[in-house]
Amino acid sequence: MPASMTQPDFEQAAALCRGDAEPVEYGIILGSGLSILDELEDRRDTSYRDIPGFPPSTVEGHKGLLSIGRIPGGSRVAIARGRFHLYEGLPAASARYLVSLFAALGSHSVILSNAAGGLRADFTPGDLMLLSDQLNLTFRSSAEAGAVKFGQALYDPSWQAQALAIAGAQGLPVSQGVYVGLLGPSYETAGEIAFLSRFADAVGMSTVLEAQAAASLGLRALGVSCITNVAITTVGLAQTSHAEVMDVAQRASGHLERLLVALCKAS
Ligand code: HPA
């Protein structure tokens, strides 16, 4: 970690964000352009800028805001609107910050969402994919050696099954697959997409180190990708841009919101 960065004090950060409100049950990280759960009861927002030790969010489409409140008629949640990416020049340890803050806020369960490129031809932009597993091709780790066990499932299988059942009942376009996390920020070449599609179903630039952090803290995790572009079929036809990713993510946010609201009521 650069000398200028100190590890935040998560208990102090939690006290700042929560005030005297009750603990939260779920921590949710929203990916690029995923703008949901604005309507929380007793919503209380804290800018990352006001949390000592937190870097400001530099990516367009990321607000850099932590919202705490209650889903109407449901659970208390903390929603991170914006996350920290390695491509912003931040150290791998910064991927622990939001997850550690959720834990300090009382949460035992985290939902990690992201915008991702689809590596299967049967995807349609706006589909959701639950992460069954991940390939960490950032070549970094956010967990101490030994904190994540050999072959450990980072994403809770029974929570995935529950999410799939809810999606089926609600008619939401949700499948399961392996997510590969790269360093970014550039999008993949045709050769890279061909290579990655042999091993994974969706590609993005986040989430993998947060899932390691959640596992090392003993938190239950669910990962959800919003497929903003079908990388495998658009090679050579169109260029994926951050603007396009945000546009589709915004339009697909409704599916994600319905899934998460039902899930946070059910589990
Ligand atoms: N590649 C990497 N990250 C992404 C993509 C993609 O095609 N789409 C959204 N995030």
Q: Which atom of ligand 1 is nearest to the CA of 205?
A: 3
SS3 label, residue 180:
strand
Q: Which atom of ligand 1 is nearest to the CA of 231?
A: 7
Test site for ligand 1: of 87, 228, 234, 241, most ligand atoms within 8 A of the Cβ: 228
CA dist., res. 198 & res. 187, Å (int):
17
**Residue at 2 is within a domain:** no
The confidence score (pLDDT) of residue 177 equals 98
- Look up residue 219 and give its two tokens: 């938190």
The confidence score (pLDDT) of residue 150 equals 84
The confidence score (pLDDT) of residue 42 equals 92
Nearest CA, atom 6, ligand 1? 117
Domain extent, residue 172, equals 7-266
Q: Is the CB of 188 under 6 A from ligand 1?
A: yes
- Specify which residues 117 forms β-bridges with: 203, 229
Residues known to be catalytic: 32, 62, 85, 87-88, 115, 205-206, 229, 242
The confidence score (pLDDT) of residue 242 equals 76
The confidence score (pLDDT) of residue 1 equals 47
Q: Is the CB of 193 under 6 A from ligand 1?
A: no
**Residue at 33 is within a domain:** yes
Q: Which atom of ligand 1 is nearest to the CA of 182?
A: 2
- Specify which residues 221 forms β-bridges with: 110
The pTM (predicted TM-score) of the whole model is 0.93
The confidence score (pLDDT) of residue 4 equals 47
State the distance from the centre of ligand 1 to the C-alpha of 227, rounded, in angstroms.
8
pLDDT averaged per 10 residues, the chain (length 267): 66 90 93 85 93 79 86 92 90 94 97 95 93 96 82 94 95 96 91 95 97 95 93 66 77 88 83
CATH number of the domain encompassing residue 179: 3.40.50.1580
Half-sphere exposure of residue 65: CA atoms within 13 angstroms, side-chain side: 13
Q: Indicate the number of domains in the chain.
A: 1
Q: Is the CB of 228 under 6 A from ligand 1?
A: yes
Q: Is the CB of 203 under 6 A from ligand 1?
A: yes
Test site for ligand 1: of 229, 232, 247, 251, most ligand atoms within 8 A of the Cβ: 229
Of the candidates 125, 242, 265, the one whose C-alpha atom is nearest the C-alpha of residue 186 is: 242
61-100 in b/e form (b: 16+ CB < 10 A) is: bbbbbbbbbbbeebbbbbbbbbbbbbebebebbbbbbbbb
The confidence score (pLDDT) of residue 36 equals 86
**Residue at 125 is within a domain:** yes
State the distance from the centre of ligand 1 to the C-alpha of 203, rounded, in angstroms.
6
Ramachandran category for residue 37: left, alpha or beta (phi over 0 → left; psi -120 to 50 → alpha): left
The confidence score (pLDDT) of residue 247 equals 77
Do 244 and 234 touch, CB atoms closer than 8 A? no
Q: Is the CB of 245 under 6 A from ligand 1?
A: yes
